[in-house]
Amino acid sequence: MDLFHALTDEERSRSRLDAKITALVLDDVDFVTGSTINELAERAGVSPPTITRFCRRLGCVSFADFKVQLARMTYVGLRYLKPELPTTTVSEVIDDIVVKAQDTLFSLHNQLDHDRLEDAARLLRGAGFIQAVGAGGNSSMIANEIQNRLFRLGCHVQSTNDKAMAVMLAAAATPDTVAIVSSMTGRDVELVRCLDLYRHHNVLTIALTQSGSPVAERASVVIPIDLPEGVNIYRPTSTRYAYLAVIDILANLVAYADRQKSLQYLRRIKEELVSNRDGDDRQLLGD
């Protein structure tokens, strides 16, 4: 268990001072990472050995180790620990959104199932035709992104944000078709129906969704993405960053399976793009 979880673990039995130190650490990471054990002890109102023991309980071998581990997680999730504060100033909004996006990526990194990703990439790579389905705003973006990344690699892919369309696509699927669907809730009634239909037509499916959800249960390969949702209704969900990262990873794995072929397609596309700009070659592939 890493320091992040150890610090936030509600189960951990804490003595009075332990709780006090925990609070201090979470409240001001920057101070703690920069302080000596004496400074920290004084500010916490405890003795230095108490700090050492605190660090050991958290799984660190020493105070120095604790500081390093703490510093390591500063940008990946620590602010998340704090209760959802009302953000009002521009700075607060920026901090909050950026930190949560980073934290989401961090959590994703810890939970990704490598084998399932490889399975999914293998399916995509071998597919004669790929159908990407996602609707409702966030997942539409993901479906479109799948198309955007894969056609560049020479895949034949069609994305749709229309579940009625997906039904028709499934009906038209040939045996070498693979469908990839995205649903953050995994409980979309129509998407579930689509998946049943895909199965009925023997079309293999890949799902990016919450594990254990109805969508997950019906897919051939599931890439589970289980992340806490923010409670701020005004704010778009940071889970999108995780889904986007999964698409990036899949596209990369597909590309790497046949570098020669991928490179050829990418170059061809790039040549067209550059001629449409000012001839500067240092351009991005697709703005």
Q: How far is the CB of 78 from DNA (least distance, A)?
A: 20
Cα(255)–Cα(253) distance, integer angstroms: 5
Bridge pairing between strands 157-160 and 129-133: parallel
Choose the one of a copy of itself, DNA, none that binds residue 137, judging by a C-beta under 5 to 8 angstroms depending on kind: a copy of itself
Sole binder of a copy of itself in the list 5, 82, 156, 187 (CB under 8 A): 187
- Our CB check for a copy of itself shows the closer of 129 and 241 to be 241
The answer to the question of residue 225 lying near a copy of itself (CB under 8 A) is: no
Taking CB under 8 A as the rule, which mask of x and - marks residues 158-177 in contact with a copy of itself? --------------------
CB of 226 to a copy of itself, least distance (A): 13
Spatial contact of 159 and 147, defined as CB atoms under 8 Å apart: yes
* Smallest gap from residue 107 Cβ to a copy of itself (A): 10
| Residue 97: exposure state from Cβ atoms within 10 A (0-12, 13-18, ≥19) | middle
Residue 281 interacts with a copy of itself (CB under 8 A)?
A: no
Q: Which region among 18-26, 51-59, 124-132, 228-236 touches a copy of itself (by CB under 8 A)?
A: 228-236
Among 52, 144, 211, 220, binds a copy of itself (CB under 8 A): 144
**Rounded CA gap, 78 and 83, in Å?**
11
Among 81, 97, 165, 167, binds a copy of itself (CB under 8 A): 97
Instruction: Tell me the C-alpha distance between 7 and 25, whole Å.
Output: 9
Residues that bind DNA (CB under 7 A): 13, 15-18, 36-38, 45-53, 55, 62-64
Q: Give the nearest distance from C-beta 21 to DNA in angstroms.
A: 8
Crossing angle of helices 16-27 and 48-57, in 10° steps, is 80
Q: Which is nearer to DNA, 11 or 287 (CB)?
A: 11
Rounded Cα distance, 247 and 82, in Å: 30
Strands (DSSP E) found in 97-203: 129-133, 157-160, 177-183
Scan for tokens 């940071």, then name that residue. Answer: 238
